[in-house]
Chains A and B, each alone.
Chain A
Amino acid sequence: MASDSSPANFNNGPSSPGDSFSTPIANSSSPAHRRRRGRRQASIPSSAAATPSPNPSRFANSSSTPTPSRSTRRGRRPATSPTPAAAATPSSTDDFPPPSSDGGDDMEEATPTFVWGTNISVQDVKNAIQMFIKHFRETHELRNDVYGEGKYMRLIHRVLEIEGEWIDVDAHDVFNYDSDLYNKMVRYPLEVLAIFDIVLMDIVSLINPLFDKHVQVRIHNLKSSTSMRNLNPSDIEKMVSLKGMVIRCSSIIPEIREAVFRCIVCGYHSDPVVVDRGRITEPTTCSNQECLAKNSMTLVHNRCRFADKQIVRLQETPDEIPEGGTPHTVSLLMHDKLVDAGKPGDRVEITGIYRAMSVRVGPTQRTVKSLFKTYIDCLHIEKTDKSRMMSEDPMEVDKGSQRVEDDVQFDEDKVEELKELSKQPDIYERLTRSLAPNIWELDDIKKGLLCQLFGGNALKLPSGASFRGDINILLVGDPGTSKSQLLQYIHKLAPRGIYTSGRGSSAVGLTAYVTKDPETGETVLESGALVLSDRGICCIDEFDKMSDNARSMLHEVMEQQTVSIAKAGIIASLNARTSVLACANPSGSRYNPRLSVIDNIHLPPTLLSRFDLIYLVLDKADEQTDRRLAKHIVSLHFEDTQIAEQDVLDLATLTAYVSYARKNIHPQLSDEAAEELTRGYVEMRKRGNFPGSSKKVITATPRQIESLIRLSEALARIRFSEWVEMRDVTEAFRLLEVAMQQSATDHSTGTIDMDLITTGVSASERMRRENVLAATRNIIMEKIQLGGPSVRLLELLDELKKQSSGSEIHLHDLRNAVATLASEGFVVLQGDSVKRI
């Protein structure tokens, strides 16, 4: 027994390499097994006691002594009887290294051996596995290189080089090569995996006879993965694959594998004793022939061999939980290298064998509780949350705040479905309709928001300059026009995002702040809302109520997309590639259409210009709109809600659509689109120059052309198109114009004026001011004598009004003009009277 498990045994393997593949596996291992079986019978009293360790065989056969009929059957198929097979699962393979093939026991050569209880021939399975390992090639390899080694032979070589302990086998490969083998493997994993390991070891020892580590096979990526909810008794002892979230890990439990005993009388060390069914039998007598003392053996701890073991609880991910249910959990048993492979909070996909063990009421009681405790003997674990969308450069984000949408996995069907959707001619309109369907009208705003969700392409030039791809939007409007609802909706839809209210946000809360860790005293950087919504959308409500200090932090974020920190010895620049969606109320609670946007919202023009689209959400007294609203609400209350909204994508589809597009579609400008952009831009700038007008209005700035590019890219993305086409550009122009017409219209002339946004003063306003100034200067020149008596401002105003009959002049205009003149040293202003000097 001892030699059985010592590595030296491997060396015997290749001594007869010829038969290692030809001798029936049953023969090769039967001697070892026979011995083992004999010993098991001796240890039955102890093993019959309730042990929590996995029962090696199906169900509760540990609780009953093997019946004679079964033991004869066992003799025939030793290597694959459930017992050693179970032992040979990765969990404990070391205990039973594949027996060498030098056994001289040939008497059963002729009888085919079967996996117990089935008609699966061990030899067939073994051959199939050998064929698979040696000859499996991936499809593209098949074409190119027929004579090279297969995928798994290369893997084995690699494992030998790095002295690895396992080989990952993709179940899809097994299926593609031999679907029969795959089915057997899934249905009888214990047996088939044991054979797999044996075959593997045979190959390994052929390649490198001195390789003394045990190489195990780890299956992953099964054809179908089960939902935790659907595990049922028929899955017991089958290979299953599950997705879930690790919620709890036990501490690492050292599990004894081999024990060494020492005689306290003579000091003789026993041969290592191997674990059998979770128990070690202590030798009752010293095996030293000269001693033979009874009950004298004690365990020598530091000569025993231990293996790591851990119990992990896996919980369903939220998307699998049906309405009105709570998440299910399942226990996983992890061994050796799998220990600590998953931490609480990780989303993982595991492959393992579903096991059940019976529960006893007590060691002495005859009654057995009719219950089974189930767990999964884990073979392979894979973290799935690496594929979180759009996080090519993930920052540390608090896991707790992540929402379900983060983790949308795209299977092929879904992708097909989305692609099908994208081909529809009216997809743009349909998506617009699906966006916040219970908010009425505001179609153009919704289109803008849609563009923001999809986003443009970020560009980084080799020179280091980078252009953001994120689209920033500001909504300004009357209270009660569902701005906040739109914001909330976008926040819910956005892949990652933070919703904050301007009133409660400080500069550090938005960007990042430095704190001292209370325990260690180290200074640590904590991310604020903008950094947390990196590659997402940061929704800021009540933008106007934000403190100036906080707002100034946004300058950097919105153009450079970084947050720079220089505080407490930490100098850092954090990425904040976020789109900002802000909404603001006008400074008087209602929007005053006679004032410019700047006057209506008290926002610095420098910040305003960083928004690609500024929408005015005005509540116009429009009976048509009101009627639609009324209809909508009545139907909400009285009709079947399904009728009220048709042809609208549900939130899940919409989210999937957006995330797929953001992840996989990276449109580029086509030549004609680029030309159209240039043409349109020139046109826009030209519009400022009215023939015969001396004033110069800037209708477009370079910032606008960047916005246009981003918008057209987003529009192409909506169609899942890799090329930005003419129509995208046209639509982008339209969107920009709609937004600008509302916000950048100079109310006195009705033309678009970017100066309004960039400086806060429109060109016509500036001209008017100059006119007033000139007129005032003239009047003063006429009326007031140099060094003469002073004139009251009101008198001047009357005079001014008389002269310029056309336009209305206010007192404050006059004041401004006089102030300018005073600064020129032309007049002196004392209280309300003006004196010329």
Chain B
Amino acid sequence: MGGPPYDCMANPLGAVRLTFEKAIGSGSLTQTHPLAFDGKDWGALDLFRHFLFQESGLSQVPILNSKTMRWVQPNSLVRYRGMIQDMLGNEFYVGAYKDGNLWRTNKFMDVSQYPMGTPPDMCVWERRLLYCVPVPGQSSWTEPSCEMEPNRGMDWSSQNREKRRRMDDEDADPLDLVPDDEIKSSPITKKMREDGFPSPSPESRDSKTASSSSSMSTFQYVDKDNLPCLVKIYDSPESELKLNDVFEFIGVLTVDSELAVEKDDNDELSNSFYDDALVHLPPNKVPRLHCLVHRKLAVHDFLQSSPIMEPHLVKGIREALFRHLTTVLGNDEVAAHFMLLHLLSKVHARVDDVAVGKLSLNLMGLSKESATVFGTRLSQAFKSLLPFTHFIPLTLEYLNTASLAPKKDYQENRLIPGVLQLPEGSHIMVDETQLESGSLSSIGIENTKSLKNLMEFQKVEYDFQYYKMEMAADVQLLIFSEGKSNIVPADVVVPFQPSSLESFEIPVAEALEAWRWYLATVRLLPHSIGSEMQKVVEDDLVAARQADRSLGSRDFSRWLTMARLVSSSFGETCLSLEHWQMVKELERLRRERLK
């Protein structure tokens, strides 16, 4: 211990201890009894917040992942980015105890350094345990570039080397057409490549075995690329951290091998008393992070830079992105229009069962072959644009075997993740063209139901065996199908009519960055409607319904969603007549195609 008083990076616990001693006034005659803190912060957090955000120490803090895991020192400050996959409840620990005459604290630690006293001489506090995993389907561009000072180890160069090696691997793979695209970050993306687009590289074949079972048990996350983390949360209200939220946790890393011993002297009795989950998560596989500061991550936080919002800029970006999408979609402008709106959609509000603002898209008229071709192109495009992408090949076998909805396993007392346990703003591509006739097992039926539920209500039912719990989701869904998909009925069905298959240029990094920023920003824009415009819209709706009785509230709802998205896509916050006309025109074009 010891160390310079404010080396928050290398010796955060020392800093904690210093503030603690200061807070209780140790040394002086009038010591504050730590009971007074009641587990709350005594000033340590301010110190770290100041260090991280004022002194911009944040960028120096190494990010914990499987690569950095090798050289990061235990008991140092690290940050971890991940999704809260499961909540393991609360844990009571001895927060403060008297060692002789000195009060010491155990906060942010697993094991106490000194023998502990007896009840009056110690305080029991509580902390929350969260099981976090790297965000499923995370695109490679979201991985932050490390800007570490060189003297903090060989990290930067070694990382570069690491990266290069992986790139080399890819280059060496002749069948892998994916250009500079590190999509090997998660088993799910791997799976997507594997199942969706045949790429018979031995590497991905290996990964298939890992990923196919990854849906069965979280243990598989303990593979090389994915580092789960057990985060211990102090001093924060429960409502702040929710399941499936993506967070950055900054805290003290502990990988005490000592703790592993615990497993050995378990007899049956004690075993059932321990939180079962912990027994199954040995510290050598799942590092512990004692969280000091945490912050919710939005897509923005993954961007490397953030341009300034300017109306004309937005329009320029929109135009460029639209061109790009048109090329990817084989010069089908109508489809590209809908695709753009689809990518901007987001659940804005929920009224009863209606999730307002979602816009799932069904591209129909695709054969198996063309779905593969365009699927590849689109998935590449999405991966470079969106933070979290997924691909579900809707085959009978997949439906009958995959576990889409998360399920609670009471043996391990863990929530076993399903494919549909996703953070807000994930994108799923479903390829229905591969579906053939056959019979669904009960699992298959459950799975289709889950998909349909997600599509219609943006909700996933988590199976807690004795009951099911609905969790709200916000996922964009894109479906390829030959005819209109009935298994997963989308909001918009667009017959897809590509006219050319010219290859598209790989956009420059700056353009990509701007597009990512655009997609992330524009969908958050507020939206309103003027009273005149409202009148126009209402009149149009009434007229449309008078003309065609088959139009229902669903269609109207879709139109208004589209109106909102069109107007947002131009960076505007108020619906204008021009944009409303555009929606009607788009809808007309779409209906024409449907005939």
Binding site for B on A (CB under 8 A): 50, 52-53, 58-61, 64, 117, 229, 231-233, 236, 245, 247-248, 250, 253, 311, 313, 315, 318, 321-329, 331, 344-345, 356-359, 361-363, 365-375, 399-400, 402-404, 437-438, 480, 482, 619, 621, 623, 626-627, 629-634, 636-638, 641, 644-645, 651
Contact B239 A621 (CB under 8 A): no
- Report the minimal beta-carbon distance from A591 to chain B, rounded to whole angstroms: 12
Contact residue among A64, A322, A375 (Cβ-Cβ distance under 8 Å from B273): A375
Contact A633 B553 (CB under 8 A): yes
The segment out of B155-163, B256-264, B505-513 that lies at the interface is B256-264
Contact A633 B541 (CB under 8 A): yes
Contact B259 A637 (CB under 8 A): no
Contact A368 B116 (CB under 8 A): yes
**A326 contact set on B, CB distance < 8 A:** 86-87, 243, 415
**B351 contact set on A, CB distance < 8 A:** 438, 636, 641, 644-645
**B115 contact set on A, CB distance < 8 A:** 366-368
Closest to B551 in A: A480
Contact B546 A480 (CB under 8 A): no
- Report the minimal beta-carbon distance from A355 to chain B, rounded to whole angstroms: 10
Closest to A255 in B: B269
Given A253-B268, A374-B92, A634 and B242 touching (CB < 8 A)? Answer: no
B51 interface residue, CB < 8 Å from A? no
- Cα A626 to Cα B546 with chains together (Å): 8
Contact B273 A311 (CB under 8 A): yes
CB neighbors of A among B553-589 (8 A): 553, 556-557, 560-561, 563-564, 575
**B126 contact set on A, CB distance < 8 A:** 232-233
**A637 contact set on B, CB distance < 8 A:** 356-357, 557, 560-561, 563-564
**A64 contact set on B, CB distance < 8 A:** 117-118
Contact B87 A329 (CB under 8 A): no
**A315 contact set on B, CB distance < 8 A:** 464, 466
- Report the minimal beta-carbon distance from A264 to chain B, rounded to whole angstroms: 27
Contact residue among A58, A357, A626, A632 (Cβ-Cβ distance under 8 Å from B119): A58
**A641 contact set on B, CB distance < 8 A:** 349-351, 356
- Grouping DSSP codes into helix (H, G, I), strand (E, B) and loop, the B interface class, with mixed when no group exceeds half, is mixed
- Report the minimal beta-carbon distance from A191 to chain B, rounded to whole angstroms: 15
Closest to A399 in B: B466
B110 interface residue, CB < 8 Å from A? yes
Given A64-B118, A369-B111, A370-B93, A634 and B466 touching (CB < 8 A)? Answer: no
**B367 contact set on A, CB distance < 8 A:** none
B545 interface residue, CB < 8 Å from A? yes
- Cα A623 to Cα B545 with chains together (Å): 9
**B537 contact set on A, CB distance < 8 A:** 630, 634
Given A253-B268, A638-B528, A641-B349, A369 and B238 touching (CB < 8 A)? Answer: no
**B265 contact set on A, CB distance < 8 A:** 50, 362-363
Contact A631 B467 (CB under 8 A): no
Q: What are 24 A-B interface contacts by the 8 Å CB criterion? A: A59-B124, A60-B118, A61-B118, A64-B117, A233-B123, A313-B410, A322-B238, A324-B239, A326-B243, A327-B464, A327-B469, A329-B89, A331-B273, A371-B92, A400-B467, A404-B467, A438-B353, A480-B550, A480-B552, A623-B546, A626-B541, A630-B537, A630-B542, A645-B351
**B93 contact set on A, CB distance < 8 A:** 370-372
**A632 contact set on B, CB distance < 8 A:** 553
Contact residue among B116, B262, B357 (Cβ-Cβ distance under 8 Å from A361): B262
- Cα A356 to Cα B93 with chains together (Å): 10
- Cα A325 to Cα B470 with chains together (Å): 11
Contact residue among A344, A371, A630, A638 (Cβ-Cβ distance under 8 Å from B527): A638
B70 interface residue, CB < 8 Å from A? no
Contact residue among A58, A373, A438 (Cβ-Cβ distance under 8 Å from B352): A438
Contact B541 A368 (CB under 8 A): no
Contact residue among A327, A369, A631, A636 (Cβ-Cβ distance under 8 Å from B262): A369
B309 interface residue, CB < 8 Å from A? no
Contact B109 A359 (CB under 8 A): no
B267 interface residue, CB < 8 Å from A? yes
Binding site for A on B (CB under 8 A): 39, 86-87, 89-94, 106, 109-113, 115-120, 122-126, 238-239, 242-245, 258-259, 261-262, 265, 267-270, 272-275, 349-354, 356-357, 410, 413, 415, 464-467, 469, 471-472, 527-529, 534, 537-538, 541-542, 545-546, 549-550, 552-553, 556-557, 560-561, 563-564, 575
Closest to B39 in A: A233
- Report the minimal beta-carbon distance from A188 to chain B, rounded to whole angstroms: 14
Given A370-B94, A402-B467, A329 and B243 touching (CB < 8 A)? Answer: no
- Cα A311 to Cα B39 with chains together (Å): 29
Closest to B542 in A: A626
Contact residue among B86, B122, B410, B561 (Cβ-Cβ distance under 8 Å from A247): B410
Closest to B266 in A: A52
**A313 contact set on B, CB distance < 8 A:** 272, 410, 413
**B245 contact set on A, CB distance < 8 A:** 324
Contact A630 B556 (CB under 8 A): yes
- Report the minimal beta-carbon distance from B240 to chain A, rounded to whole angstroms: 10
**A367 contact set on B, CB distance < 8 A:** 111-113, 115, 258
- Cα A135 to Cα B449 with chains together (Å): 61
Closest to A372 in B: B92
Contact A361 B274 (CB under 8 A): no
Contact B87 A325 (CB under 8 A): yes
- Cα A268 to Cα B115 with chains together (Å): 44
**A368 contact set on B, CB distance < 8 A:** 111-112, 115-116
Contact B538 A253 (CB under 8 A): no
- Report the minimal beta-carbon distance from B432 to chain A, rounded to whole angstroms: 21
- Cα A356 to Cα B86 with chains together (Å): 24
Question: 17 new A-B pairs (CB below 8 Å) besides A629-B553, A637-B356, A641-B356?
Answer: A52-B270, A58-B119, A59-B124, A233-B126, A247-B410, A326-B243, A361-B259, A367-B111, A368-B116, A371-B94, A372-B93, A400-B466, A626-B546, A634-B537, A636-B356, A637-B564, A638-B560
Contact B261 A362 (CB under 8 A): yes
Given A232-B126, A233-B124, A331-B273, A359 and B87 touching (CB < 8 A)? Answer: no
- Cα A438 to Cα B553 with chains together (Å): 10
- Cα A641 to Cα B244 with chains together (Å): 25
- Cα A367 to Cα B119 with chains together (Å): 17
- Cα A250 to Cα B466 with chains together (Å): 17
- Cα A627 to Cα B544 with chains together (Å): 11
- Report the minimal beta-carbon distance from B573 to chain A, rounded to whole angstroms: 11
- Cα A630 to Cα B545 with chains together (Å): 9
**B262 contact set on A, CB distance < 8 A:** 359, 361-362, 369
**B529 contact set on A, CB distance < 8 A:** 634, 638
Contact B556 A633 (CB under 8 A): yes
- Cα A88 to Cα B85 with chains together (Å): 43
**Taking each of A250, A371, A404, which has the highest tally of chain B beta carbons within 10 Å of its own beta carbon?**
A371
Closest to B545 in A: A626
- Cα A231 to Cα B89 with chains together (Å): 11
**B415 contact set on A, CB distance < 8 A:** 326
- Report the minimal beta-carbon distance from A361 to chain B, rounded to whole angstroms: 6
Contact A634 B534 (CB under 8 A): yes
**A328 contact set on B, CB distance < 8 A:** 89-90
Given A311-B273, A370-B116, A641-B349, A323 and B538 touching (CB < 8 A)? Answer: no
**B545 contact set on A, CB distance < 8 A:** 626, 629-630
Given A327-B464, A400-B466, A634-B560, A371 and B91 touching (CB < 8 A)? Answer: yes
Closest to A363 in B: B265
Contact A630 B261 (CB under 8 A): no
Given A233-B39, A480-B550, A634-B534, A369 and B467 touching (CB < 8 A)? Answer: no
- Report the minimal beta-carbon distance from A160 to chain B, rounded to whole angstroms: 35
**Taking each of A58, A359, A361, A402, which has the highest tally of chain B beta carbons within 10 Å of its own beta carbon?**
A361
**A651 contact set on B, CB distance < 8 A:** 352
Contact B469 A321 (CB under 8 A): yes
**A359 contact set on B, CB distance < 8 A:** 262, 274
- Cα A253 to Cα B270 with chains together (Å): 12
**B92 contact set on A, CB distance < 8 A:** 233, 236, 356, 371-372, 374
Contact residue among B112, B273, B465 (Cβ-Cβ distance under 8 Å from A373): B273
